[in-house]
Amino acid sequence: MKKLHIAAVAGIAIIAGACSHSNNGWGIDGRLNDGADNTLYIEGFNNGNWYLVDSVKATGGKFEYRAAAPAQYPDIMRLNLDGKYIYFPIDSVDVVNIVSDTLDFDHNYTLDGTVQARTVKSLDSIVAASLAAKGVEATIADEALKRELFNKAFADPSVASVYYLINKSVGGRQLFDLANANDLRLYGAVAQRFATERPDDPRTGYLAAMFKRGRQGQYSQQREIRVPETALFEIERADARGTVHKLSETATKGGVTVLSFTSYAMEASPAYNALLFKIYDKYKDSGLQIYQIAFDEDETSWRQTAANLPWIAVWNTTTGGNEPLVKYNVGVLPTTFIIDREGALAERVSDPAQLEKAVAKYM
């Protein structure tokens, strides 16, 4: 998968809260065979972006993680140890088992606990063997191999396995290339399966849009460098003065738009907004817009902050539901997106420290 989707959230984490054994969501039971003490990072995949979900500490090699809530959708995560990754599927309250070691973390490991986990491990083992024997170019060009992989993944009752495979990259290249007619047909089969079996899944629209782009010949290998442009999901909320603002209207004025998901009650909120102030002041005359949606329970406190902001600051009311979070797969606040001058969702920025640099690319 790309180096740049967490299941839709029932509740969100402010920053990345520590888990506890009382949590009743999906989980990981794991062990580092060498008994090393390490911090491992759990990352989610959002239609092109990997982002931090949480961390877990291995003590004496053993680690255990439980999410705060069940996963609403079958999905793919990865475990990151010093830039080495093990990919694993999640669904509902499934618990996967991962055993590896520190030095050869992403090669010599076992992944078990669910049918989907064994499928994903099997897919990765087949690809790894091909890469070792033939290299990247020959693996990507091997139509019989890709058909074998696809049939194995598509036969899994869970959509997580085939979603993982169709987005998988090897050596910085997409294994399934939408510019390739055979690969495009397989991609279309995945898009159709999501449309039929999971019409409300946040990834369904993304897959349909990418398949359409492939058919139109607009897809390129630049996907590894820049996140593919994705159609916006509408957000329509009111600001502190009662004026209703549509994200689609803000993002189609020809300028770059920063879409900010936040909570003013967060301890980190003042520093985050100070960063936005700096970026806004630098680029507002060049057409930069900020559309910020806050998820706060205290309306009075929200109004006091929002009224003093120079950008569009709207409130997701306590009865407004989690639809914006679900559609944009936001599991951690703050999370920021960049919408380009054509009104397309161009990039997700999970690390606020990288936001100014990311915005500059589009200005």
Say if residue 7's pLDDT is above 70: no
CA neighbours within 13 Å on the CB side: how many for 83? 0
What is residue 47's predicted lDDT score, i.e. its pLDDT? 62
Rounded to an integer, what distance in angstroms lies between the CA atom of residue 217 and that of residue 204?
20
Could you report the per-residue pLDDT of 43-88, keeping only the tens digit for each?
988 766 678 888 999 999 999 999 988 988 899 999 999 989 999 9
CATH of domain 13-113: 2.60.40
User: Which residue is associated with the tokens 């957000």?
Assistant: 235
β-strand pairing of 110-112 with 95-100: antiparallel
C-alpha closest to that of 153 among 200, 109, 187? 187
What is residue 22's predicted lDDT score, i.e. its pLDDT? 54
Average pLDDT estimate for 246-264: 91
Torsion angle, alpha carbons of 260, 261, 265, 267, to 10 = -70
Among 12-21, 68-77, 111-120, 336-345, which is the least confidently predicted range? Answer: 12-21
Rounded to an integer, what distance in angstroms lies between the CA atom of residue 114 and that of residue 96?
6
CATH of domain 236-360: 3.40.30.10
Note whether 13-113 and 236-360 share their fold.
Answer: no
Rounded to an integer, what distance in angstroms lies between the CA atom of residue 357 and that of residue 144?
42
Could you report the per-residue pLDDT of 192-236, keeping only the tens digit for each?
999 888 888 878 888 888 888 888 774 443 333 343 445 678 999
Average pLDDT estimate for 232-259: 91
Percent of the chain with pLDDT over 70: 89
Mean pLDDT, the chain, whole residue set? 85
Q: Do residues 44 and 329 make contact, with C-beta atoms less than 8 angstroms apart?
A: yes
Q: In angstroms, what CA-CA distances link 144 with 138, 141, 147, 149, 188?
A: 11, 9, 5, 9, 18
Q: Which residues does 65 contact at the CB level (< 8 Å), separation at least 6?
A: 19, 27, 28, 30, 42, 54, 56
Angle at 23 between CA 115 and CA 156, to 5 degrees: 15
Percent of the chain with pLDDT over 90: 53
Could you report the per-residue pLDDT of 29-44, keeping only the tens digit for each?
999 999 999 999 999 8
What are the domain boundaries of the chain? 13-113, 125-224, 236-360
The β-bridge partners of 246 are 236
Helix residue ranges per DSSP H, the chain: 115-141, 143-155, 159-166, 181-197, 202-215, 247-250, 269-283, 299-306, 323-327, 355-360
Say if residue 9's pLDDT is above 80: no
Say if residue 11's pLDDT is above 70: no
Average pLDDT estimate for 242-247: 94
Rounded to an integer, what distance in angstroms lies between the CA atom of residue 10 and that of residue 203?
17
What is residue 306's predicted lDDT score, i.e. its pLDDT? 94
Average pLDDT estimate for 304-323: 89
Could you report the per-residue pLDDT of 321-350, keeping only the tens digit for each?
778 887 887 777 888 999 988 888 888 887
Q: What is the band of 140 on the pLDDT scale with cuts at 50, 70, 90? A: very high
Rounded to an integer, what distance in angstroms lies between the CA atom of residue 298 and that of residue 361?
36
Q: What is the band of 309 on the pLDDT scale with cuts at 50, 70, 90? A: very high
